[in-house]
Amino acid sequence: MGDFRTHAREVRKSNNSELRAQLAGRDDTYEPKDLKYVSNLCELTFREIDVDKDPQAYVEERFGDISGWGDTRTSATALRVLLTEQIGRPVYERISNVSKAEWADAIVAIDDGYVESGDESHVPISLPEGTEEHLTDPPNREESPAQSKSDISDFSDFESWVAENQPPDRSHAAYVVDCTPSIDDESPAIHELRKHTYALTQAGVELTKKTLGYDETKYRAARAANRCDRIYYIGETNDLVDRMSQHRAGADVGGSGFTNLVTPNYIIDICWCESKSDAKDLEQELVTEWNHCEGTFAFGS
């Protein structure tokens, strides 16, 4: 087991430009601006720590057939798994957009060398020092009361429903979806996130990006799950069918990739709007409204 948190904390003192420059300076393949793209960062990281497989083979070895995956998904998954195995990046910290956390984690993995077998039992790099003593199983969850579902709650024949119900003078929509994770079929990633979040709350750590090094939204959602609260995502779009498909497929590139981890179960509400600004304003109003409801956690993009 390794503990890379001290190194990670030091690396993250650099700003984004400095981190990209550090990575690009290791060879002449990429300019710093090129490392804003996950495929380039993935390729450089694999090469610099001398992994004996290319990213695609690395992912295939762990997930099997990935013929239906695009290049970006393959690179993001390969980089995320590599960082988990090498330095203890949590499995729930998926990569949608490359940011400071990814550049910093790549530097730590490169500097600390390649462990051929990998080790997923490293001290989680997201936990501030001292919180590991609180790592125990998270609280058991009980089903919390659900809100009333909309008449298209289960996503079945959704495209037809939208075609029949979207007013011709309403180009946008704000929507509410229930993302409360399953209790009986909880994923390993959700369980680990709840476990780490429980340790953080028991240690009195504030759930902020500054203290965690990663976006705090998923930790706040996990805290809600540990309290048996319902979890909702609220968004806005001008293409409701496509947006829901992204959410359901785990291909969300907005909202910090929130629904890539907590997939929507059903639709609570859809409100049609005349413009993007109207939909965005309504989205924020709904987030505020839902977060004032007892036993709920709501997040908007």
Predicted local confidence at residue 176, as pLDDT: 94
Predicted local confidence at residue 135, as pLDDT: 84
Predicted local confidence at residue 146, as pLDDT: 72
Those residues with Cβ within 8 angstroms of residue 19's Cβ, 6 or more apart along the chain or in another chain = 11, 100, 103, 104, 107
Of 251, 124, 127, 261, nearest in space to 187 by CA: 261
What is the 8-class DSSP label of residue 294?
Answer: T
Of 256, 261, 225, 232, nearest in space to 174 by CA: 232
Phi, psi dihedrals of residue 191, rounded to the nearest 5°? -60, -45
- Quick: pLDDT tens for 145-163: 777 666 666 677 888 889 9
In the block, residue with structure tokens 């947006």 = 243
Predicted local confidence at residue 141, as pLDDT: 92
Q: N- to C-terminal Cα distance for the chain?
A: 36
Alpha-carbon distance 14 to 80, whole Å?
21
Alpha-carbon distance 143 to 185, whole Å?
13
Predicted local confidence at residue 13, as pLDDT: 94
Alpha-carbon distance 177 to 147, whole Å?
10
Predicted local confidence at residue 255, as pLDDT: 47
**What pTM does this model have?**
0.84
- pLDDT per residue of the chain (301 residues) written in tens, 0 to 9: 789 999 999 999 999 999 999 999 988 899 999 999 999 999 999 999 877 889 999 999 999 999 888 899 899 999 999 999 999 999 899 887 899 999 999 999 999 866 655 555 788 898 888 888 888 899 999 887 777 666 666 677 888 889 999 999 999 999 999 999 999 889 999 999 999 999 999 999 999 988 888 889 999 999 999 999 999 999 999 999 999 888 887 765 554 467 888 888 889 999 999 999 999 999 999 999 999 999 999 998 7
